[in-house]
Amino acid sequence: MAANLTPQYLKAEEEYRRAATPEEELRWLEVMLREIPKHKSSEKLQSDLKSKISRLKKESAAQRAAGKRGHSTRIPLQGAGTAVLLGGPNAGKSALLAALTHAHPEVAPYPFTTRQPAPGMMPYEDVFVQLIDTPPITPDFFEPAMHGLIRGADLALLVVDLGSDDGIEQCQDVLNRLGETKTRLARTSHLDENDVGISYTATLLVLNKIDADGAAERLELLHELVGDDLPAELPEHVVSAEQTTGLEELRRAIYTALDVVRVYTKTPNQKASDHDRPYTVRRGGTVHDVAELIHNDLAAKLKFARIWGSAVHDGTVVKADHVVADGDIVELHE
């Protein structure tokens, strides 16, 4: 990618990667084109962006003429971040949602039990992470709304069924099916170097039903396939949704993968912060980002902040661009 990309460009790129509709894609591509530094090393990227923009404009004009509208199911994003559960039929996606959250999805010993994406909130220490259960992906069945869900999520959990001899192949089917689209899975979330239209979502491999007969042998077989028929780079977590084995580690891994920090706010007259309700911002986020979560106005009027935390002396006065650390208590002054 071109050097010297500005924070504004990178932010637009992140929004584009997560776009769920052609309109959203177009909007952020235009911002990317406007913000890209105009020099020799970015020429290829500039021309890629221009051709993508003109193609999308043609497509949406054609759709309008045909009276069609882009479809997407938007589940309002909540909590410190969102992880989407994916996998073949019967892998245990709904059982995992039920074990990790207070949601009560239907869990049943036959395929295609789940028909609609459904969210639940997973408690982790003093925050919540949104998990979204989804219908299965098979060579013949791929709900179109899944694209937007996967792109928009911070993390994907690819669930593999170690309780059935078909489980590994069904996982490969999911990866192959996604490989035919522009929505794919990888170790980290990013856009493709050679085709900015391809969006990768960070993924954990969740190997479920380790309690089942023959699961240990299937796990060994799976390890033999990693690197050839399965991507080597995905971190794996061996669990049993039914017996809750490995679920605490999985919870922590999900939260850690979101790469957020928790910040507690207090008002100048308050002695202690309201420790029950932290705000979460991406690691590297600033005091300004925290203020924006509270109110846009507050962010605009912010003069300075005082911080209590591990990286600073108690009550240190900082400006809006100060990078916050996990556990910081922040007092905002307008």
Ligand X SMILES: Nc1nc2c(ncn2[C@@H]2O[C@H](COP(=O)(O)OP(=O)(O)OP(=O)(O)O)[C@@H](O)[C@H]2O)c(=O)[nH]1
Residues lying near ligand X in the complex (CB under 6 A) are found at: 87, 89-95, 107-109, 111-114, 136, 163, 208-209, 211-212, 240-242
Q: Could you tell me the smallest distance in angstroms from the CB atom of residue 136 to ligand X?
A: 3
Residue owning tokens 């493709």: 192
The alpha carbon torsion through 172, 178, 183, 189 (nearest 10 deg) reads: 0
Per partner kind, with CB cut-offs from 5 to 8 A, the member of ligand X, Mg ion, none near residue 79 is none
Nearer to ligand X, 98 or 332 (CB): 98
| CA 267/CA 39 separation, integer angstroms | 46
Q: Does 138 bind Mg ion (CB under 5 A)?
A: no
Count Cβ atoms within 10 A of the Cβ of residue 104 and give its class: 0-12 exposed, 13-18 middle, 19 or more buried: exposed
> How far is residue 95 from each of residues 90, 153, 213, measured CA to CA in Å?
9, 20, 18
Please tell me whether residue 114 binds Mg ion under the rule CB under 5 A: yes
Nearest to residue 72, comparing CAs of 116, 27, 21? 21
Pairing label, strands 260-266, 236-238 = unpaired
What phi, psi does 19 have (nearest 5°)?
-65, 140
189 binds, among ligand X, Mg ion, none (CB under 5 to 8 A by kind): none
Length in residues, the chain: 334
- The answer for residues whose C-beta is within 8 angstroms of residue 125's C-beta and 6 or more apart is 255
> Which of 103, 226 has the CB closer to Mg ion?
103
The answer to whether the beta carbons of residues 246 and 281 sit under 8 Å apart is no
In terms of CB distance, is 130 or 286 closer to Mg ion? 130
- CB of residue 283 vs Mg ion: minimum separation in angstroms? 32
Q: How far, in Å, are 4, 16, 191, 250 from residue 9 at the CA level?
A: 10, 10, 13, 33
Name the residue nearer to ligand X (CB basis): 27 or 177.
177
Instruction: List the one residue from 21, 46, 72, 113 that touches Mg ion (CB under 5 A).
Output: 113
Site for Mg ion in 41-100 (CB under 5 A): 93-94
Q: Shortest distance, CB of residue 223 to ligand X, whole angstroms?
A: 19
- Residue 208 contact, options Mg ion, ligand X, none, Cβ 5-8 Å cut-off depending on partner type: ligand X
- Rounded to the nearest whole angstrom, what is the least distance from the CB of residue 211 to ligand X in the complex? 5
Q: Which of the stretches 105-113, 173-181, 208-216, 266-274 binds Mg ion when contact is defined by CB under 5 A?
A: 105-113
Return the H-helix or E-strand segment holding 54: helix 43-65
- Least CB distance from residue 242 to ligand X, whole Å? 4
Q: Structure tokens of 319?
A: 């400006």
The CB-of-155 to Mg ion minimum distance in angstroms stands at 19
175 binds, among ligand X, Mg ion, none (CB under 5 to 8 A by kind): none
Question: Could you give the 3-state DSSP secondary structure of residue 290?
Answer: helix
Min CB(73)–Mg ion separation in Å: 16
**Cβ-based nearer residue to ligand X, 171 or 241:** 241
- Binding partner of residue 118 among ligand X, Mg ion, none, CB cut-off 5 to 8 Å per kind: none
Q: Does 101 bind Mg ion (CB under 5 A)?
A: no
Asked whether 53 and 61 are in contact (CB, 8 A), the reply is no
Residues lying near Mg ion in the complex (CB under 5 A) are found at 93-94, 113-114
